[in-house]
Structure 1
Amino acid sequence: MSTTHLTQTRGRKWRVAGIAAAVIALPSISAAALTTAKAPVKAKIVHTPVSSPLRVRSDRPCPDNMAHVGTSCVDRYEGSLVEITAEGREVPFSPYAAPNGKNVRAVSRAGAVPQAHISMVEAKRACKASGKRLCRAGEWKAACKGPEATRYPYGNTRVAGACNDTNRVSPMNVLHRGERTARTMNDPLANQQERTVERTGDTASCTNGYGVSDMVGNVHEWTDDGSFRGGYYLDTKLNGEGCDYRTTAHAPTYYDYSTGFRCCADEGSLPDES
Protein backbone atom coordinates (compact mmCIF):
# COMPACT_ATOMS: atom_id res chain seq x y z
CA MET A 1 0.00 0.00 0.00
CA SER A 2 1.46 3.38 -1.01
CA THR A 3 0.61 6.60 0.78
CA THR A 4 1.93 10.07 1.25
CA HIS A 5 -0.56 11.06 3.91
CA LEU A 6 1.62 12.96 6.37
CA THR A 7 0.46 15.37 9.04
CA GLN A 8 2.24 17.96 11.08
CA THR A 9 2.74 17.88 14.80
CA ARG A 10 0.81 20.21 17.00
CA GLY A 11 3.30 22.95 17.80
CA ARG A 12 3.33 26.38 19.35
CA LYS A 13 1.84 29.15 17.27
CA TRP A 14 3.76 32.35 17.50
CA ARG A 15 1.69 35.43 17.08
CA VAL A 16 3.30 38.76 16.30
CA ALA A 17 1.27 41.67 17.49
CA GLY A 18 1.51 44.82 15.41
CA ILE A 19 2.07 48.16 17.10
CA ALA A 20 -0.14 50.92 15.75
CA ALA A 21 1.14 54.46 15.96
CA ALA A 22 -1.46 56.84 17.36
CA VAL A 23 -1.88 60.19 15.57
CA ILE A 24 -2.63 62.97 18.05
CA ALA A 25 -4.20 66.24 16.87
CA LEU A 26 -2.40 69.22 18.41
CA PRO A 27 -4.33 72.41 19.33
CA SER A 28 -3.44 75.64 17.50
CA ILE A 29 -1.08 78.03 19.28
CA SER A 30 -1.49 81.80 19.05
CA ALA A 31 1.32 84.16 18.06
CA ALA A 32 1.17 85.84 21.48
CA ALA A 33 1.67 82.57 23.22
CA LEU A 34 4.71 81.92 21.09
CA THR A 35 6.36 85.21 22.10
CA THR A 36 5.76 84.68 25.82
CA ALA A 37 6.57 80.98 26.00
CA LYS A 38 9.34 79.95 28.34
CA ALA A 39 12.41 78.27 27.01
CA PRO A 40 11.95 74.52 26.97
CA VAL A 41 13.52 72.53 29.76
CA LYS A 42 16.21 70.22 28.49
CA ALA A 43 15.13 66.63 28.92
CA LYS A 44 17.25 64.37 31.04
CA ILE A 45 18.42 61.37 29.07
CA VAL A 46 18.14 58.08 30.90
CA HIS A 47 20.19 55.25 29.51
CA THR A 48 18.39 51.91 29.81
CA PRO A 49 20.56 48.85 29.41
CA VAL A 50 19.60 46.65 26.47
CA SER A 51 19.68 42.92 27.00
CA SER A 52 22.04 41.02 24.79
CA PRO A 53 20.45 38.82 22.11
CA LEU A 54 23.19 36.26 22.55
CA ARG A 55 22.22 32.93 24.08
CA VAL A 56 24.40 32.37 27.12
CA ARG A 57 24.55 29.60 29.62
CA SER A 58 22.12 29.83 32.51
CA ASP A 59 23.03 29.79 36.20
CA ARG A 60 20.41 27.06 36.58
CA PRO A 61 21.56 23.46 35.99
CA CYS A 62 18.89 22.69 33.35
CA PRO A 63 16.44 24.56 31.09
CA ASP A 64 12.74 24.39 32.00
CA ASN A 65 12.00 21.76 29.36
CA MET A 66 14.58 19.38 30.84
CA ALA A 67 14.66 17.57 34.18
CA HIS A 68 17.68 17.70 36.50
CA VAL A 69 18.71 14.11 37.18
CA GLY A 70 21.98 13.69 39.07
CA THR A 71 24.50 15.66 37.03
CA SER A 72 22.47 15.42 33.83
CA CYS A 73 19.62 17.21 32.12
CA VAL A 74 17.00 14.92 30.57
CA ASP A 75 14.29 16.03 28.14
CA ARG A 76 10.91 15.97 29.86
CA TYR A 77 9.21 14.67 26.72
CA GLU A 78 9.99 12.19 23.96
CA GLY A 79 11.72 13.84 21.04
CA SER A 80 10.03 15.39 18.05
CA LEU A 81 11.74 17.10 15.11
CA VAL A 82 11.78 20.39 13.27
CA GLU A 83 13.26 20.66 9.79
CA ILE A 84 15.48 23.59 8.86
CA THR A 85 14.68 24.90 5.39
CA ALA A 86 17.15 26.34 2.87
CA GLU A 87 16.05 29.81 4.04
CA GLY A 88 16.87 28.94 7.64
CA ARG A 89 13.27 28.64 8.85
CA GLU A 90 12.21 25.85 11.18
CA VAL A 91 9.10 23.88 10.21
CA PRO A 92 7.62 20.78 11.90
CA PHE A 93 8.87 17.49 10.48
CA SER A 94 6.37 14.65 10.16
CA PRO A 95 6.55 12.14 13.03
CA TYR A 96 5.31 9.51 10.58
CA ALA A 97 8.32 9.66 8.22
CA ALA A 98 11.99 8.72 8.48
CA PRO A 99 14.27 11.79 8.74
CA ASN A 100 17.17 10.10 6.94
CA GLY A 101 19.50 12.76 5.55
CA LYS A 102 17.15 15.65 6.39
CA ASN A 103 18.37 18.84 8.05
CA VAL A 104 16.52 18.40 11.33
CA ARG A 105 17.01 19.06 15.01
CA ALA A 106 15.39 17.62 18.12
CA VAL A 107 12.83 19.45 20.26
CA SER A 108 11.08 18.40 23.48
CA ARG A 109 7.51 19.66 23.68
CA ALA A 110 4.33 18.70 25.47
CA GLY A 111 1.39 17.76 23.28
CA ALA A 112 3.45 16.66 20.27
CA VAL A 113 3.25 13.37 18.41
CA PRO A 114 6.65 11.84 19.23
CA GLN A 115 8.98 11.13 16.35
CA ALA A 116 9.03 7.49 15.27
CA HIS A 117 10.74 5.88 12.24
CA ILE A 118 14.10 7.11 13.54
CA SER A 119 17.38 5.21 13.88
CA MET A 120 19.98 5.65 16.58
CA VAL A 121 22.24 7.31 14.01
CA GLU A 122 19.62 9.91 13.09
CA ALA A 123 18.57 10.42 16.72
CA LYS A 124 22.15 11.22 17.73
CA ARG A 125 22.42 13.69 14.87
CA ALA A 126 19.15 15.41 15.80
CA CYS A 127 20.15 15.77 19.45
CA LYS A 128 23.57 17.15 18.49
CA ALA A 129 21.92 19.76 16.26
CA SER A 130 20.18 21.10 19.39
CA GLY A 131 23.36 21.18 21.47
CA LYS A 132 22.43 17.97 23.28
CA ARG A 133 23.26 14.28 22.95
CA LEU A 134 21.46 10.97 22.97
CA CYS A 135 20.90 9.84 26.56
CA ARG A 136 23.38 7.44 28.11
CA ALA A 137 21.88 4.19 29.32
CA GLY A 138 22.52 4.92 33.00
CA GLU A 139 21.07 8.41 33.04
CA TRP A 140 18.06 7.31 30.99
CA LYS A 141 17.31 4.53 33.48
CA ALA A 142 17.78 6.84 36.47
CA ALA A 143 15.39 9.38 34.96
CA CYS A 144 12.78 6.69 34.22
CA LYS A 145 12.87 5.20 37.74
CA GLY A 146 12.60 8.61 39.39
CA PRO A 147 13.92 9.80 42.77
CA GLU A 148 12.51 6.67 44.46
CA ALA A 149 14.24 4.30 42.00
CA THR A 150 11.07 2.32 41.25
CA ARG A 151 10.51 -0.26 38.52
CA TYR A 152 7.97 1.94 36.76
CA PRO A 153 7.91 5.75 36.73
CA TYR A 154 4.90 5.71 39.08
CA GLY A 155 5.91 2.84 41.41
CA ASN A 156 7.13 -0.74 41.71
CA THR A 157 3.91 -2.47 40.69
CA ARG A 158 2.61 -2.27 37.13
CA VAL A 159 -0.69 -0.44 36.78
CA ALA A 160 -2.39 -1.20 33.48
CA GLY A 161 -2.98 2.02 31.57
CA ALA A 162 -0.85 4.23 33.83
CA CYS A 163 1.44 4.56 30.81
CA ASN A 164 0.48 4.13 27.17
CA ASP A 165 0.85 0.34 27.17
CA THR A 166 -2.65 -1.15 27.54
CA ASN A 167 -5.58 -1.90 25.23
CA ARG A 168 -3.61 -0.85 22.17
CA VAL A 169 -4.05 -1.88 18.54
CA SER A 170 -1.37 -3.41 16.28
CA PRO A 171 -1.20 -1.26 13.15
CA MET A 172 0.43 -4.16 11.30
CA ASN A 173 -2.67 -6.26 11.90
CA VAL A 174 -5.02 -3.43 10.94
CA LEU A 175 -3.18 -2.31 7.82
CA HIS A 176 -1.20 -5.32 6.59
CA ARG A 177 -2.81 -8.48 7.98
CA GLY A 178 0.14 -9.00 10.31
CA GLU A 179 2.85 -8.71 7.64
CA ARG A 180 6.03 -7.32 9.15
CA THR A 181 8.60 -6.13 6.63
CA ALA A 182 10.69 -2.97 6.35
CA ARG A 183 8.01 -1.57 4.05
CA THR A 184 4.97 -2.33 6.21
CA MET A 185 6.67 -1.38 9.48
CA ASN A 186 7.45 2.05 8.06
CA ASP A 187 3.98 2.71 6.70
CA PRO A 188 3.23 6.38 7.54
CA LEU A 189 -0.30 5.35 8.49
CA ALA A 190 0.87 3.00 11.27
CA ASN A 191 0.89 5.48 14.15
CA GLN A 192 -2.10 7.36 12.77
CA GLN A 193 -4.41 4.50 13.74
CA GLU A 194 -6.57 4.90 16.82
CA ARG A 195 -5.24 3.42 20.07
CA THR A 196 -1.61 3.54 19.02
CA VAL A 197 0.79 6.37 19.90
CA GLU A 198 -0.29 9.20 22.23
CA ARG A 199 0.87 12.81 22.28
CA THR A 200 3.67 13.62 24.69
CA GLY A 201 2.49 14.20 28.24
CA ASP A 202 -1.12 13.19 27.52
CA THR A 203 -0.81 10.09 29.72
CA ALA A 204 -0.56 12.20 32.85
CA SER A 205 0.06 9.29 35.25
CA CYS A 206 3.17 8.15 33.35
CA THR A 207 5.62 10.40 35.17
CA ASN A 208 7.60 10.63 38.41
CA GLY A 209 9.17 13.08 40.84
CA TYR A 210 11.62 14.30 38.20
CA GLY A 211 8.76 15.39 35.95
CA VAL A 212 9.72 13.29 32.92
CA SER A 213 6.88 11.79 30.87
CA ASP A 214 6.24 8.63 28.84
CA MET A 215 9.51 6.85 29.57
CA VAL A 216 7.59 3.57 29.60
CA GLY A 217 5.33 2.75 26.65
CA ASN A 218 4.35 5.05 23.78
CA VAL A 219 7.53 4.68 21.64
CA HIS A 220 10.85 2.94 22.23
CA GLU A 221 13.69 5.34 23.09
CA TRP A 222 17.19 4.90 21.68
CA THR A 223 20.13 5.31 24.07
CA ASP A 224 23.77 5.76 23.14
CA ASP A 225 24.72 2.14 23.87
CA GLY A 226 22.79 0.96 20.81
CA SER A 227 19.74 -0.29 22.71
CA PHE A 228 16.28 1.18 22.89
CA ARG A 229 14.44 1.30 26.18
CA GLY A 230 11.11 1.57 27.93
CA GLY A 231 9.07 -0.47 25.48
CA TYR A 232 6.30 0.94 23.32
CA TYR A 233 2.53 0.96 23.26
CA LEU A 234 2.24 -2.75 22.39
CA ASP A 235 4.96 -4.13 24.68
CA THR A 236 6.55 -3.00 27.95
CA LYS A 237 7.33 -6.48 29.37
CA LEU A 238 8.89 -8.77 26.75
CA ASN A 239 12.48 -7.53 27.23
CA GLY A 240 12.24 -6.41 30.85
CA GLU A 241 9.70 -4.76 33.13
CA GLY A 242 9.04 -1.04 32.78
CA CYS A 243 12.20 1.03 33.19
CA ASP A 244 14.30 -2.15 32.93
CA TYR A 245 12.98 -2.86 29.41
CA ARG A 246 15.90 -3.02 26.96
CA THR A 247 16.12 -4.22 23.36
CA THR A 248 19.51 -4.92 21.76
CA ALA A 249 18.38 -6.84 18.67
CA HIS A 250 18.82 -4.10 16.09
CA ALA A 251 21.67 -2.23 14.41
CA PRO A 252 22.08 1.54 15.03
CA THR A 253 20.71 2.18 11.54
CA TYR A 254 17.44 0.33 12.23
CA TYR A 255 14.10 2.13 12.49
CA ASP A 256 10.38 1.39 12.33
CA TYR A 257 7.05 2.77 13.56
CA SER A 258 7.96 1.97 17.20
CA THR A 259 11.42 3.60 17.51
CA GLY A 260 11.75 7.04 19.06
CA PHE A 261 14.28 8.88 21.20
CA ARG A 262 14.96 11.45 23.93
CA CYS A 263 17.89 13.83 24.36
CA CYS A 264 20.11 14.54 27.37
CA ALA A 265 22.89 16.99 28.24
CA ASP A 266 25.37 17.70 31.01
CA GLU A 267 24.06 20.03 33.70
CA GLY A 268 24.94 23.69 33.19
CA SER A 269 25.81 23.22 29.51
CA LEU A 270 22.68 24.74 27.94
CA PRO A 271 20.97 28.15 27.78
CA ASP A 272 17.58 28.75 29.41
CA GLU A 273 15.73 27.68 26.27
CA SER A 274 16.99 24.79 24.17
Structure 2
Amino acid sequence: VHCAERGKRICTETEWTMACEGPERKPFPYGYLRDATKCHGDRPWDHPDTRKFIERDPHELERLWQGVKSGSQPDCVSDYGVHDMPANADELAASETYGKGPKSDFDNVTTGGPWYEGVRNQCRPKIYSHDESFAYYYLSWRCCAEPDGKPTDPRAPKQIKRGWDWDKVVYRAKHSWKLPLNSKVPGDEGYNSAGTDRPIVPRKDEP
Protein backbone atom coordinates (compact mmCIF):
# COMPACT_ATOMS: atom_id res chain seq x y z
CA VAL A 1 0.00 0.00 0.00
CA HIS A 2 2.85 2.41 0.86
CA CYS A 3 4.56 1.59 -2.44
CA ALA A 4 1.32 2.06 -4.39
CA GLU A 5 1.01 5.59 -3.04
CA ARG A 6 4.23 6.34 -4.93
CA GLY A 7 3.23 4.58 -8.15
CA LYS A 8 5.39 1.57 -7.26
CA ARG A 9 4.99 -1.91 -5.78
CA ILE A 10 6.73 -4.35 -3.47
CA CYS A 11 9.67 -5.99 -5.24
CA THR A 12 9.27 -9.65 -6.17
CA GLU A 13 11.61 -12.23 -4.66
CA THR A 14 13.36 -12.61 -8.04
CA GLU A 15 13.88 -8.87 -8.44
CA TRP A 16 15.19 -8.58 -4.89
CA THR A 17 17.68 -11.43 -5.34
CA MET A 18 18.92 -10.16 -8.70
CA ALA A 19 19.39 -6.61 -7.43
CA CYS A 20 21.39 -7.94 -4.47
CA GLU A 21 23.55 -10.53 -6.27
CA GLY A 22 24.36 -8.48 -9.33
CA PRO A 23 25.30 -9.95 -12.73
CA GLU A 24 27.86 -12.33 -11.19
CA ARG A 25 25.31 -13.77 -8.74
CA LYS A 26 27.48 -13.10 -5.73
CA PRO A 27 26.21 -14.44 -2.39
CA PHE A 28 26.68 -10.99 -0.86
CA PRO A 29 26.25 -7.66 -2.63
CA TYR A 30 29.88 -6.73 -1.96
CA GLY A 31 31.51 -10.07 -2.86
CA TYR A 32 31.88 -13.77 -2.14
CA LEU A 33 32.84 -13.73 1.54
CA ARG A 34 30.70 -12.44 4.39
CA ASP A 35 31.97 -9.21 5.93
CA ALA A 36 29.77 -7.90 8.73
CA THR A 37 31.56 -4.54 8.69
CA LYS A 38 30.20 -3.72 5.23
CA CYS A 39 26.48 -4.27 5.77
CA HIS A 40 25.73 -3.54 9.42
CA GLY A 41 25.72 -7.18 10.53
CA ASP A 42 26.64 -8.98 13.77
CA ARG A 43 24.89 -6.60 16.14
CA PRO A 44 24.10 -8.08 19.59
CA TRP A 45 20.74 -9.75 20.00
CA ASP A 46 18.03 -7.89 21.86
CA HIS A 47 15.58 -9.18 24.41
CA PRO A 48 12.22 -7.61 23.60
CA ASP A 49 9.80 -6.85 26.37
CA THR A 50 6.99 -9.05 25.09
CA ARG A 51 4.16 -7.11 26.66
CA LYS A 52 5.42 -3.76 25.40
CA PHE A 53 6.14 -5.15 21.95
CA ILE A 54 2.67 -6.69 21.58
CA GLU A 55 1.16 -3.37 22.58
CA ARG A 56 3.41 -1.64 20.03
CA ASP A 57 4.91 0.63 22.65
CA PRO A 58 6.80 3.27 20.61
CA HIS A 59 9.61 3.54 23.17
CA GLU A 60 10.18 -0.22 23.10
CA LEU A 61 10.18 -0.30 19.29
CA GLU A 62 12.66 2.58 19.20
CA ARG A 63 14.90 0.75 21.69
CA LEU A 64 14.88 -2.43 19.60
CA TRP A 65 15.54 -0.78 16.24
CA GLN A 66 19.20 -0.99 15.19
CA GLY A 67 18.84 -0.19 11.50
CA VAL A 68 20.71 2.61 9.78
CA LYS A 69 19.53 5.12 7.20
CA SER A 70 19.36 3.62 3.73
CA GLY A 71 22.28 4.74 1.59
CA SER A 72 24.52 5.52 4.56
CA GLN A 73 26.77 2.46 4.08
CA PRO A 74 29.11 3.09 1.12
CA ASP A 75 30.41 -0.51 1.08
CA CYS A 76 27.00 -2.17 1.30
CA VAL A 77 26.05 -1.77 -2.34
CA SER A 78 25.56 -4.30 -5.13
CA ASP A 79 27.05 -4.18 -8.62
CA TYR A 80 23.70 -2.79 -9.78
CA GLY A 81 24.09 0.13 -7.38
CA VAL A 82 21.41 -0.98 -4.91
CA HIS A 83 22.18 -0.15 -1.28
CA ASP A 84 21.66 -1.87 2.07
CA MET A 85 19.97 -5.08 0.96
CA PRO A 86 21.08 -7.62 3.58
CA ALA A 87 21.64 -7.06 7.31
CA ASN A 88 20.06 -3.63 7.74
CA ALA A 89 16.55 -5.09 8.08
CA ASP A 90 14.75 -8.27 7.13
CA GLU A 91 12.81 -7.20 4.05
CA LEU A 92 9.46 -8.27 2.64
CA ALA A 93 9.25 -9.29 -1.01
CA ALA A 94 6.37 -10.63 -3.09
CA SER A 95 6.43 -14.41 -3.45
CA GLU A 96 6.60 -15.97 -6.91
CA THR A 97 6.71 -19.55 -5.63
CA TYR A 98 3.70 -21.58 -6.77
CA GLY A 99 2.63 -25.19 -6.46
CA LYS A 100 1.95 -27.22 -3.33
CA GLY A 101 3.84 -27.17 -0.07
CA PRO A 102 4.77 -24.64 2.62
CA LYS A 103 6.89 -22.49 0.29
CA SER A 104 3.86 -21.65 -1.85
CA ASP A 105 1.31 -20.86 0.86
CA PHE A 106 1.71 -17.11 1.23
CA ASP A 107 1.91 -13.91 -0.80
CA ASN A 108 5.21 -12.74 0.64
CA VAL A 109 8.67 -13.90 1.69
CA THR A 110 11.25 -12.30 3.94
CA THR A 111 14.80 -11.92 2.71
CA GLY A 112 18.17 -10.37 3.54
CA GLY A 113 18.02 -10.98 7.26
CA PRO A 114 18.23 -8.38 10.04
CA TRP A 115 21.31 -6.91 11.68
CA TYR A 116 21.88 -9.61 14.29
CA GLU A 117 24.97 -11.71 14.95
CA GLY A 118 24.82 -15.17 13.39
CA VAL A 119 22.29 -14.28 10.68
CA ARG A 120 23.37 -15.30 7.18
CA ASN A 121 22.65 -11.89 5.62
CA GLN A 122 22.96 -13.30 2.11
CA CYS A 123 21.13 -12.35 -1.07
CA ARG A 124 19.47 -15.65 -1.95
CA PRO A 125 18.03 -17.28 1.23
CA LYS A 126 14.34 -16.64 1.81
CA ILE A 127 11.87 -17.44 4.57
CA TYR A 128 8.55 -18.72 3.25
CA SER A 129 6.87 -19.64 6.54
CA HIS A 130 5.34 -16.29 7.57
CA ASP A 131 1.84 -15.43 6.46
CA GLU A 132 0.54 -11.93 5.80
CA SER A 133 -0.30 -11.41 9.47
CA PHE A 134 3.35 -11.66 10.53
CA ALA A 135 4.84 -8.46 11.91
CA TYR A 136 8.09 -7.86 13.77
CA TYR A 137 10.21 -4.90 14.71
CA TYR A 138 13.10 -5.63 12.33
CA LEU A 139 10.91 -6.05 9.24
CA SER A 140 10.98 -3.49 6.45
CA TRP A 141 10.39 -3.34 2.70
CA ARG A 142 11.55 -1.57 -0.43
CA CYS A 143 9.58 -0.55 -3.49
CA CYS A 144 10.22 -1.35 -7.14
CA ALA A 145 9.31 0.77 -10.16
CA GLU A 146 8.99 -0.11 -13.82
CA PRO A 147 11.95 0.78 -16.11
CA ASP A 148 9.86 3.30 -18.04
CA GLY A 149 8.87 5.08 -14.83
CA LYS A 150 5.14 4.63 -15.43
CA PRO A 151 2.84 3.64 -12.53
CA THR A 152 2.75 -0.12 -12.05
CA ASP A 153 0.14 -2.61 -10.87
CA PRO A 154 0.78 -2.58 -7.10
CA ARG A 155 -0.68 -6.03 -6.47
CA ALA A 156 1.55 -9.02 -5.71
CA PRO A 157 1.79 -11.71 -8.43
CA LYS A 158 -0.34 -14.15 -6.44
CA GLN A 159 -2.97 -11.50 -5.78
CA ILE A 160 -3.17 -10.80 -9.51
CA LYS A 161 -3.51 -14.52 -10.24
CA ARG A 162 -6.37 -14.76 -7.72
CA GLY A 163 -8.13 -11.83 -9.35
CA TRP A 164 -8.09 -9.61 -6.28
CA ASP A 165 -8.95 -6.00 -6.93
CA TRP A 166 -7.06 -3.20 -5.20
CA ASP A 167 -9.78 -2.56 -2.61
CA LYS A 168 -9.44 -6.13 -1.39
CA VAL A 169 -5.65 -5.85 -1.19
CA VAL A 170 -5.89 -2.64 0.85
CA TYR A 171 -8.46 -4.20 3.16
CA ARG A 172 -6.28 -7.22 3.77
CA ALA A 173 -3.30 -4.99 4.51
CA LYS A 174 -5.26 -3.09 7.14
CA HIS A 175 -6.84 -6.16 8.77
CA SER A 176 -4.16 -8.83 8.55
CA TRP A 177 -3.47 -9.44 12.24
CA LYS A 178 -4.37 -12.93 13.42
CA LEU A 179 -4.59 -11.83 17.03
CA PRO A 180 -5.52 -8.50 18.58
CA LEU A 181 -2.41 -6.43 19.27
CA ASN A 182 -3.90 -3.39 20.89
CA SER A 183 -7.60 -3.07 21.51
CA LYS A 184 -7.23 0.71 21.53
CA VAL A 185 -6.05 0.74 17.91
CA PRO A 186 -8.91 0.51 15.36
CA GLY A 187 -8.44 -2.47 13.07
CA ASP A 188 -6.51 -4.59 15.57
CA GLU A 189 -9.54 -6.68 16.46
CA GLY A 190 -8.05 -9.72 14.74
CA TYR A 191 -8.22 -11.25 11.29
CA ASN A 192 -7.56 -14.64 9.72
CA SER A 193 -5.34 -14.31 6.67
CA ALA A 194 -4.19 -17.16 4.43
CA GLY A 195 -2.47 -17.92 1.16
CA THR A 196 -3.63 -19.43 -2.11
CA ASP A 197 -3.73 -23.05 -0.96
CA ARG A 198 -5.50 -22.42 2.32
CA PRO A 199 -9.06 -21.28 2.99
CA ILE A 200 -9.44 -17.53 3.20
CA VAL A 201 -11.94 -16.46 5.83
CA PRO A 202 -13.48 -13.15 4.74
CA ARG A 203 -14.89 -10.65 7.18
CA LYS A 204 -18.45 -9.50 6.63
CA ASP A 205 -17.35 -6.01 5.59
CA GLU A 206 -14.57 -7.14 3.23
CA PRO A 207 -14.80 -5.96 -0.42
Report if TM-score (shorter chain) is over 0.5.
yes
47, 54, 57: which one pairs with 1:183?
A: 54
What stretches of structure 1 move > 6 A for 4+ residues in a row? none
70, 80, 84: which one pairs with 1:210?
A: 80
State the partner residue of 1:221: 91
Question: Within 1, Cα distance between the matches of 2:66 and 2:5?
Answer: 29
Could you list the per-position Cα deviations for residues 53-75 of structure 1 after superposition, in whole angstroms to 9, with x for gaps in the alignment?
xxxxxxxxxxxxxxxxxxxxxxx
1:169 CA displacement: 3.3
Q: Matched residue of 1:242: which SS?
A: coil
State the partner residue of 1:163: 39
Q: Which amino acid aligns with 1:150?
A: K
Q: Which has the larger radius of gyration?
A: 1
Q: Which amino acid aligns with 1:229?
A: T
Tell me, yes or no, if structure 1 residue 231 matches structure 2 residue 113: yes
Q: Matched residue of 1:249: which SS?
A: coil
- The answer to whether the 8 A contact 1:200-1:213 is kept is yes
TM-score normalized by structure 1?
Answer: 0.45
TM-score normalized by structure 2?
Answer: 0.59
- What stretches of structure 1 of length at least 5 have no aligned partner? 1-124
What does 1:44-193 align with in structure 2 at a 5 Å threshold?
125-166=1-42, 168-171=43-46, 173=47, 176=49, 179=50, 183=54, 186-190=56-60, 192-193=62-63
What does 1:20-59 align with in structure 2 at a 5 Å threshold?
none
State the partner residue of 1:244: 124
1:133 CA displacement: 0.9
Residue correspondences, number = 139
- The answer to whether the 8 A contact 2:44-2:116 is kept is yes
Q: Which amino acid aligns with 2:44?
A: V
Query: Cα 1:182–1:248, aligned 2, differ >3 Å: closer, same or farther?
Result: farther
1:199 CA displacement: 1.3
Aligned-pair identity (%): 29
